[in-house]
Amino acid sequence: MQTDRTKHCLLFDSDGTLVDSEAINTEALADELALHNIKEDPLVLLDRYRGWQFKALLSDLGVRHGLAPDQQFEQSFRARASKYFDKKLQPVENIHTALLQLDDAKCVASNAPMHKLMQVLTKTDLLAFFSECLFSAYVIDKFKPDPGLFLHAANQMGFAPGQCIVIEDSVVGVQAAMAAEMKCVWYCPEPSVQHDLPSGHDARRVLSINNMNELPTAISTLKAI
């Protein structure tokens, strides 16, 4: 696919970046773990596992609690989370307004399975912004912080890495963007819990914002670099 070299592609994460789902996810996970007599604070789960591949998350929980989660555990958790999403899910604050101001090519590149992406983006009226250009790590078996998902999405969209700007809320997502040699906007709605950037980064290529109404300006700044 031929693209105008002056154009950019915006690669959005989903959970915590487009949809306010992270706290709902960890609430569902805590409730599922409680069925196995494991007590975990949803907020602690959120801070520890934000952006993780679910398989890696379960592996870590297994080590910490002596739990051996199987496919049935994951299916039960996802069914619970889906019900919670139907009741509680909202778009990230000001994301609709921000997206309306961005005329670049856009796609979603997420560690979430495709059926979840379709559910949450449809429910929050965000799907149309991406012309159904959705890329799931489950499809290509490349999960952040591996850069493979972002590189795959860029290739499918017809853009070189240098033409791409990633919008992420997690450390693993920022690490993946850096490894892919892409610029990145790091959405940190709670600056007090922001983690340090990975070592070796070019600070000019990673901008932090606290509200999505800052996104268009951040995108413009990164385009100029």
- pLDDT digit string (tens) for 165-205? 999 999 999 999 999 999 999 999 876 555 566 666 677 89
Nearest to 172 by CA among 152, 143, 204, 212: 143
% the chain with pLDDT above 70: 92
Question: Domain with 27 in it: what CATH number?
Answer: 1.10.150.240
Assess whether 83 and 132 both reside in one domain: no
Calculate the average pLDDT of the chain. 90
Q: What is the reported pLDDT for 67?
A: 79
Assess whether 77 and 160 both reside in one domain: no
Range name among 37-51, 118-132, 154-168 with the lowest pLDDT average:
37-51
Q: Which helix (H) or strand (E) holds 149?
A: helix 148-157
Assess whether 166 and 77 both reside in one domain: no
- Among 70, 88, 106, the domain boundary falls at 88
Q: Does residue 64 lie within any of the structural domains?
A: yes
The domain total for the chain is: 2
Class of residue 3 by CB neighbours under 10 A (exposed 0-12, middle 13-18, buried 19+): middle
Domain that holds residue 32: 22-88
Q: Does residue 146 lie within any of the structural domains?
A: yes
User: What CA–CA distance (Å, rounded) separates 117 from 123?
Assistant: 10
| Mean pLDDT for the stretch of residues 8-15 | 97
- Among 88, 109, 128, the domain boundary falls at 88
Assess whether 61 and 73 both reside in one domain: yes
Q: What is the reported pLDDT for 2?
A: 38
Q: What is the reported pLDDT for 162?
A: 95
Nearest to 90 by CA among 212, 216, 221, 223: 212
Assess whether 131 and 31 both reside in one domain: no
Q: Does residue 1 lie within any of the structural domains?
A: no
CB 22 within 8 A of CB 84: no
Per residue in 76-119, pLDDT (tens digit) is 999 999 999 999 999 999 999 999 999 999 999 999 999 999 99
Assess whether 192 and 112 both reside in one domain: yes
Assess whether 56 and 119 both reside in one domain: no
User: What CA–CA distance (Å, rounded) separates 134 from 118?
Assistant: 9
Q: What is the reported pLDDT for 51?
A: 79
Angle at 178 between CA 140 and CA 188, to 5 degrees: 100
| 6 or 79, higher pLDDT | 79
Q: Give the pLDDT band of residue 66 (cuts 50, 70, 90).
A: confident
Write down the pTM of the prediction: 0.86
Assess whether 130 and 172 both reside in one domain: yes
Assess whether 103 and 189 both reside in one domain: yes
| SS percent in the chain: helix, strand, coil, step 5 | 50, 15, 35
Assess whether 98 and 135 both reside in one domain: yes
Q: What is the reported pLDDT for 193?
A: 54
